[in-house]
């Protein structure tokens, strides 16, 4: 299903799901993340939103269309701040997936070997400068508020 160039793809669906989760990230959820969501929420349906997200309102529109009760966003901080405001109005929980950077390497082979030690909770990201960071999922946390304080530079 497409909505403003965004695609919504079911990535995990339990039989008779109790809770729909909107996963807004270019990365699919890790097995440990799915298990943690199931442990807290019971039977779940996880829908991944892919594509370029224009604003928080578009995410909320998709969440409401699919009756999502939880959103896990990997988005710019300003988008998340606005999403938290919108979510409060609709009784939707916004979760932050706490990931810990455990290593930084230069080769895909080395990164893959480290991920392979715990593939259910590890992933890696490549950066423009050629470095590769390995992250490990620790826990989900509820985002209650985002306070962005700035000043002219």
pLDDT in tens, 126-139: 999 999 999 999 99
Asked whether the beta carbons of 37 and 21 are under 8 A apart, the reply is yes
Q: Is 133 in the same domain as 93? A: no
Q: In the prediction, which pLDDT does 150 show? A: 87
CATH number of domain containing 20: 3.40.50
Q: Is 126 in the same domain as 112? A: yes
Cα–Cα distances (Å) from 138 to 50, 98, 108, 134, in that order, read 23, 6, 23, 13
Q: Is 20 in the same domain as 82? A: yes
Q: In the prediction, which pLDDT does 80 show? A: 96
Q: In the prediction, which pLDDT does 36 show? A: 98
% pLDDT > 90, the chain: 93
Question: 132 lies in which domain range?
Answer: 98-138
- Work out the pLDDT band at 1, boundaries 50, 70, 90: very low
Is residue 85, in this structure, part of any structural domain at all?
yes
- Work out the pLDDT band at 3, boundaries 50, 70, 90: very low
Q: Which residues touch 140 (CB under 8 Å, ≥6 apart)?
A: 33, 36, 37, 40, 72, 95, 96, 97, 98
pTM: 0.90
Mean pLDDT, all residues of the chain: 94
How far, in Å, CA of 31 to CA of 136, rounded?
12
Q: In the prediction, which pLDDT does 49 show? A: 97
* Boundary-marking domain end, from 97, 124, 146: 97
Is residue 87, in this structure, part of any structural domain at all?
yes
Q: What sign does the dihedral 111-112-117-121 (CA atoms) show?
A: positive
Q: Is 67 in the same domain as 127? A: no
Cα–Cα distances (Å) from 35 to 15, 65, 137, 140, in that order, read 15, 25, 12, 11
Count of domains for the chain: 2
Q: Is 88 in the same domain as 29? A: yes
Sheet holding 2-3, edge to edge: 2-3, 6-13, 44-50, 19-24, 70-73, 93-105, 132-142, 122-126
Task: Please state the rounded mean pLDDT for residues 110-119.
Answer: 97
Q: Is 89 in the same domain as 20? A: yes
Asked whether the beta carbons of 131 and 106 are under 8 A apart, the reply is yes
pLDDT in tens, 6-59: 999 999 999 999 999 999 998 999 999 999 999 999 999 999 999 999 999 999
């Amino acid at each position: 299903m497409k909505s403003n160039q965004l695609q919504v793809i079911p990535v995990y669906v339990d039989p008779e799901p109790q809770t729909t989760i909107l996963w807004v990230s270019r990365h699919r959820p890790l097995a440990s993340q799915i298990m943690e969501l199931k442990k807290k929420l019971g039977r779940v349906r996880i829908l991944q939103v892919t594509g370029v997200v224009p604003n928080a309102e578009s995410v909320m529109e998709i969440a409401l269309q699919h009756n999502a009760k939880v959103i896990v966003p990997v988005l710019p901080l300003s988008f998340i701040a606005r999403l938290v405001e919108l979510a409060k109005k609709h009784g939707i929980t916004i979760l932050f997936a706490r990931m810990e950077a455990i290593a930084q390497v230069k080769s895909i082979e080395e990164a893959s070997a480290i991920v392979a030690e715990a593939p259910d909770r590890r992933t890696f990201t490549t950066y423009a400068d050629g470095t590769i960071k390995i992250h490990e999922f620790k826990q989900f946390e509820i985002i209650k508020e985002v306070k962005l304080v700035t000043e002219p530079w």
